[in-house]
Every structure is written in structure tokens, then in C-alpha cells.
Structure 1
Amino acid sequence: MSGAGQRVLSVLRKMIADGELSGGERVAEIPTAERLGVSRMPVRMAFRALEQEGLLIRRGARGFAVRQVTAEGLAGAVEVRGVLEGLAARQAAERGISPALREVLLECLVRGDQLFAKGYVSEEDLADYHDINKRFHQAIVEASGNPAIAAALARNDHLPFASVSALAVNRDNLTQEYRRFNFAHMQHHAVVDALLGQQGARAEAIMREHANATLGYARLFGAASGAEASGLKIIQ
């Protein structure tokens, strides 16, 4: 996805998280593009991505509706991702990391270090981190050598906020976002250390905690309070 498409995707996620777009509300390309001051193409790309994440439901040939998300559903999907990615990390550590995947993981760490070294982040930085983060998680699943994990994650990714790609960014508080994503990057360092040291149990525990931190992030947007996450309505 282009930089413009990624930025629109992030903005729409945040609008849903804040309740600006409510569950069941219909959304369409042209009015959304006009509202955001962009062309239709990045909106179209964002809608398709969010549909894959389970945050939009297709209505008719071109329209979508926002999916209602509950706190219980979010917690369950994130927990499943944590279990699956934890299993992948443990199996990867016990199996041993190939030189090629070791290089990928270390490159992700270096790129992240460079991004956070200046002590703050821009929206463009966070779009870059989205790609780094996605490649990092993919590499760990690949390193497990277990295709059943990838298949199970692909199914789980269709649930709202379950995908590692489903990042909502608060553009109004980039200082907070710097702390949030820098912490996640430090967890990446810890899991790579465990993987390369072939510490399977430690790698599994770190990855499960890494996934479950998503629930804490959701609460930053007022999502997981009470029986229903009324503010966590996500667009694909």
C-alpha cells in the first residue's frame, strides 16, 4: 500500500476507535475522500484493507458499513493471536533461525532503532514502522517452519483488531505514540535475543505479552470499557 493509502487507513481506524464512525454506519468512497481531503484511490485501498481486517462489512457493489466490535470479541481475537505467535516463536527458537531470516529480523531491529533514535515520531515514521512491524512478525511465523500457524493466523486476522497490521494511530498525541511504539520495538529486541539464544519458553512468553499489549493500546482510545467496546468500531 502507498504512503497515502497507509495514512488514510490509519486515520479511518482512529475515527472508528473514537466513535466518529459508529457501528452500522454506511461509508462510501466519494464522501470519505471529500471528508479527508484526498483522492478516491487511497480511500479505496484503505477500505479493502479494513475489510480484510474484519472492520468493514461490504454493503452492495461498492459500499461498506462499519462493523460493531465488542470488548469480548477483541480480547478473544488478540489472545488467539498471542497464542499462535507465541507458538511460532517457541518453535522457531527450538528449530534454529536460518541465516536469511536472522538477517531479516536484525534488519527490522536496525530500521526501528534508526526510526526511534531521534526521540520522536511523525506520521510518516509510523507508516514506516507499520511495514517494519509486519515484516518482523511474518519472519517469526516463517521461521517456525509450521504452515498451520500461518493458516490459523490468516483466519484470525479477519477479526477486528486481531491482525498485526491493524494499527490505529492517535495523530493528536504523537508523543504518546512514540512511547507506545518504541516500547513495542524494545519487545522486538527482546524476542530476537531469545530466538537467537534458542530460548523457546522465553520467546513464547515475550510474543504473547507483545500481542496482549494491543488491548492496552485499545484502552488508550477508550475502547475496552464495560461489556461493549462502543468506541472501537473499525473500518476496512
Structure 2
Amino acid sequence: MNERKETSQTLKALMGIRNLVIGGEIARGERLSEVPLSERLGISRTPIRAALARLEQEGLLERIPSGGFLARGFSTDEVIDSIEIRGVLEGTAARLAAERGVEPRKLIEISKVVEALDEIMCDDPREMNFERYVELNAEFHRLLSMLAGSETLRREIERATSLPFASPSAFLESEEAIIVFRRSLIGGQEQHRAVVQAIEMREGARAEAIAREHARLARQNLEYVLNTDKSLLTRIPALTLVVT
């Protein structure tokens, strides 16, 4: 019981600190220390300490020699590299799943997610249940990471997507993004369907290519922000950490 409680508190601390950083309440380059965070989040110092170490491993924080951590800033190149790495890993997962074969129940499970996404897609994104879309999109990518049956690959994909701007829903988590990035939703759903079909047909190269291209939708959205509307840098939580 105590171990489960400790794990729950660490997870609560992890999510709390991550939200503070990503949401801009802790500015890029600001120092984070155990005591103030413990008081702010109402969590004891032990889970806070564990969460800080985990976020450093994820790359969101940087340890400083004098003690404590800094909220990291990321260059545009680092953001692009993170997105590309996710695409490579998810592409590998899709290819291996196709080559090794997938249990029917797992294909049914991910296919049901695709069908559920189909049901909420519409021409006018303002009428879409957007919270549900983000939830289902995340579930699709979670299931995709497990189809190959490789715990190593699943773990590396989880690590690659832990940075907010590299996650499958990085540019889909703000109200403004519903309109600004609507062009990516329909194409993205077509790719969801196509990658599952390729895996089912045992077409490894095709499955890999589609999954890698799918990840690049995030890069296209990033380039839109940087080249067309930089005002979104302050309105999309994932991009508060980017140094331009």
C-alpha cells in the first residue's frame, strides 16, 4: 500500500511540475527547487525529488551544479530532431509489426480507435469533439508503439514523445489550434487508417513510410508557426520552451 501511495504521489508530482513548465508558469531558464515546489503543489519533498530527476532524464529540465534544476529551452533544430526521432521509432514499430505479424485482437483494438476517430471527424473543426480527438489520437499512438511486441521499442517511443513538442498531439492541445491546424487532422486520420491497413497486409516498408510521414505533420505545424504566425508561440503550451 505504501509503495503504491508513493508511486501515486511521484506521478502527481511529475504531472504537476511538467504542467507548470509547459504551461509557462515556470519560465524557460527559471530555477526549480524541491522546497518551493513541495509547498506549491502540496506534495512532500521525496516525490518531488523523484519527479525532478525523471524530468531531467526526459530532457525537460537541466540540473545545475549549485543545486536544483532549470527549465530548459530548446532550439528549433532540437524540436525538429525530436519530431524526426519519434517518426523513425514509430516507423520502425509499424514495420516490425507488419513483418512479425500482429495478434488479431490487437489489430481489432487499434482498428476500433481508427473507427472512433472517423466518427468524430467533420469538415468544420469547430463542431468536432476536440478533447475526444486528442484522447483517441494519443491512444492510437500508444497502441501502435506496442504492436511489434517489443518492450524496448515501446519504452524508447515513450521516451521520445515525453517532450511536449514531440508528442503526437503537440500542436493540438490549445483552443486556437483547432482552427489553425485543422488542415492536418483529415490527412492525419487518413494516415492512421493507411498504416493499420499496411500492417494488416504485412507490408512493412509501406507501414514504416506512412508512420514516418505521419510524424512529420507536427513538423509542418511547427514550420507554420515559425514562418507564418509567430504569435502562436505564446498561445500553444508546447512551444513556450522553444528559443527562436
TM-score by length of 2: 0.65
Matches within 5 A, 1:80-229: 80-117=85-122, 119-121=124-126, 125-159=129-163, 161-164=165-168, 166-172=170-176, 174-222=178-226
Q: CA deviation at 1:163?
A: 3.0
SS of equivalent residue, structure 1 residue 24: coil
Distance across 2 between alignment mates of 1:161 and 1:109: 23
| Structure with the larger helix share | 2
Cα pair distance change 1:107/1:57, threshold 3 Å? farther
| Identical pairs, percent | 31
1:92-137 alpha-carbon deviations (Å, 9 max, x no partner) = 1112221211111111111111111363246x82322222122212
How many residues are aligned here? Answer: 209
Q: CA deviation at 1:199?
A: 0.7
TM-score by length of 1: 0.67
Verify the 8 A CA contact 2:89 2:157 in the aligned structure 1.
Answer: yes
Matching of residue 76 in structure 1 with residue 81 in structure 2: yes
Verify the 8 A CA contact 1:55 1:234 in the aligned structure 2.
Answer: no
Distance across 1 between alignment mates of 2:155 and 2:228: 28
Aligned AA (1:190) = A
Distance across 2 between alignment mates of 1:234 and 1:128: 26
Name which one, 1 or 2, has greater alpha-carbon Rg.
Answer: 2
Verify the 8 A CA contact 1:71 1:224 in the aligned structure 2.
Answer: no
Q: CA deviation at 1:172?
A: 2.9
Structure 2: which 5+ runs fail to align? 1-10, 34-40, 43-50
Distance across 2 between alignment mates of 1:179 and 1:103: 28
In structure 1, the residue matched to 2:45 is: none
Task: Tell me whether 149-158 or 200-209 shows the greater mean CA deviation.
Answer: 149-158
Verify the 8 A CA contact 1:121 1:174 in the aligned structure 2.
Answer: yes
RMSD: 4.4
Cα pair distance change 1:172/1:166, threshold 3 Å? closer
Structure 1: which 5+ runs fail to align? 29-39, 42-47
Task: Tell me whether 110-119 or 184-193 shows the greater mean CA deviation.
Answer: 110-119
Distance across 2 between alignment mates of 1:181 and 1:159: 21
Q: Which has the higher contact order (CA 8 A, sep 6+)?
A: 1
